Structure formats: structure tokens, C-alpha cells
């Protein structure tokens, strides 16, 4: 494996992630996307989770707790804090 291939792949993912973030922010500002309650637990505030950076406006609205779980499936986590 070429020593720079990992760096190049990471750079591509970073560019795609940034482009999706900026497209989503612009769509929210324009009123095209409207944040909703977390699609898993119903809490707010939420963040836009991008299952596929190639479709930057197709997002899942997740609270920080559920968003962490999406990126770390199967990992144990302390109980959800209550009010």
C-alpha cells in the first residue's frame, strides 16, 4: 500500500464532510431544511447526521446522545442523563 493512500482517503472524506456540513447549514439558513426533534428519542436540540455525504441534504436529525451512538454502535455508554 502506498504510504500516502490513507492520507488521501482521509482528505477526501474530510472534504466531503465539510461540503455536506456547509450545504446543510446553507439549507437551514434558507429554510429548505428545518431541524426537528431527535428521530430516535424525541429530544431537542439536534444535529444533522449525514448517512451519506454524497447526498448532503438527506439528513437524520439526532440529539448529541443518539448521534454519538450512531457513530459508535455497540459501545457501552453511561446512562442517559435525566433533566
pLDDT by residue (tens digit) across 13-58? 889 999 999 999 999 999 999 999 999 999 999 999 999 999 999 9
pLDDT by residue (tens digit) across 69-79? 888 888 877 67
Q: Cell triple for residue 20?
A: 455536506
Helix (H/G/I), strand (E/B), else coil: 64: helix
pTM summary value? 0.75
- Residue 20 falls inside a structural domain: yes
Gap between the Cα atoms of 34 and 77, Å rounded: 29
- Residue 80 falls inside a structural domain: no
- Residue 47 falls inside a structural domain: yes
> What total number of domains does the chain contain?
1
DSSP-H helix ranges across 1-83:
5-29, 64-71
- Residue 63 falls inside a structural domain: yes
Amino acid at each position: 500500500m502506498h504510504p500516502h493512500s490513507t492520507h488521501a482517503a482521509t482528505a477526501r472524506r474530510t472534504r466531503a464532510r465539510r461540503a455536506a456540513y456547509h450545504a446543510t447549514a446553507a439549507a437551514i439558513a434558507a429554510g429548505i431544511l428545518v431541524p426537528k426533534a431527535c428521530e430516535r428519542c424525541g429530544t431537542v436540540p439536534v444535529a444533522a447526521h449525514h448517512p451519506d455525504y454524497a447526498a448532503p441534504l438527506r439528513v437524520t436529525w439526532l440529539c448529541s446522545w443518539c448521534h454519538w451512538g450512531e457513530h459508535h454502535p455497540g459501545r457501552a455508554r453511561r446512562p442517559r442523563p435525566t433533566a
